[in-house]
Amino acid sequence: MLALGLGACGGDDEPEEGAEESSLPSGCEEVSAPEPREVSLDPPPSKPSGQDLVAVVETSCGTFEIALDTKLSPKTTASFEYLAENGVYDDTLFHRIIPGFVIQAGDPSTTGSGPDPGYTIDEPPPTDFAYTQGVVAMGKTEVEPPGRSGSQFFVVLPPQADIQPVFAVVGEVTEGFDVVETIAELGSPDGSGSPLEPVVIDSVTIEEG
């Protein structure tokens, strides 16, 4: 649901005692999963603070940037900016990683099924909107109406994902998509979405583009 809503024994070849082979891709740091948090905020402003805003997402696998689509989604981007400025995304997990599809984050409870951050907003995208590579959108459950969002967001991996236009649009990754692809390497091969290792968002900061 897009809340869009992993030992072997050996003989002579056995590694030396204390030697461990990391499953982390190059560029990722070994981190522990953060403690779950509850968030309850008042509703955000209805408009973002500016027209040309960039969200800088610093993770344990590197940094990527999202150009916020303030014209298409003023309410959604205002909420994303508000959540970032209130530290909601700091020290949270990429709790859902599906190679070839999406990476998803933004739940302070760390479960992917946590409650909203104290509010929800509604801003459906155009009915012909296409979720192409690098598009960032807000997650919701299947029972929620089109365009409903709290704090969870996802980044699209393929050139065009088979996703119906019911998820509010945040913007697009314009820098560091290689970091997004590195994070995607830590998705379970079975397609369950469970990460092989924790990937943590250290911070999300909003800057003028």
Question: For residues 88 and 59, is the Cβ–Cβ distance under 8 A?
Answer: no
Whether residue 133 lies inside any domain: the answer is yes
- Give which of 205, 198, 208, 170 is closest to 64, Cα–Cα: 205
> What pLDDT score was predicted for residue 13?
44
Whether residue 139 lies inside any domain: the answer is yes
CATH number, domain at 199? Answer: 2.40.100.10
Mean pLDDT of all residues in 155-184 = 98
Question: For residues 153 and 5, is the Cβ–Cβ distance under 8 A?
Answer: no
Whether residue 181 lies inside any domain: the answer is yes
Instruction: Read off the pTM.
Output: 0.90
Question: For residues 152 and 104, is the Cβ–Cβ distance under 8 A?
Answer: yes
Average pLDDT, the chain: 91
Task: Express each pLDDT in 23-44 by its tens digit.
Answer: 799 999 999 999 999 999 999 9
Number of separate helices (H) and strands (E) present in the chain: 2, 10
Whether residue 5 lies inside any domain: the answer is no
- Rg of the Cα atoms in the chain: 18
> What pLDDT score was predicted for residue 39?
96
> What pLDDT score was predicted for residue 10?
38
Question: For residues 115 and 109, is the Cβ–Cβ distance under 8 A?
Answer: yes
Confidence bin at 209 (pLDDT 50/70/90): confident
Mean pLDDT of all residues in 78-83 = 98
> What pLDDT score was predicted for residue 189?
87
Q: What's the number of domains the chain is made of? A: 1
Q: Which residue range forms the structural domain that includes residue 152?
A: 53-208
Mean pLDDT of all residues in 83-94 = 98
Whether residue 71 lies inside any domain: the answer is yes
Whether residue 149 lies inside any domain: the answer is yes
Whether residue 200 lies inside any domain: the answer is yes
The tokens 């003023």 sit on which residue? Answer: 74
CA 201 vs. chain centroid, Å, equals 9
Both tokens assigned to 72? 């298409």
Mean pLDDT of all residues in 59-76 = 98
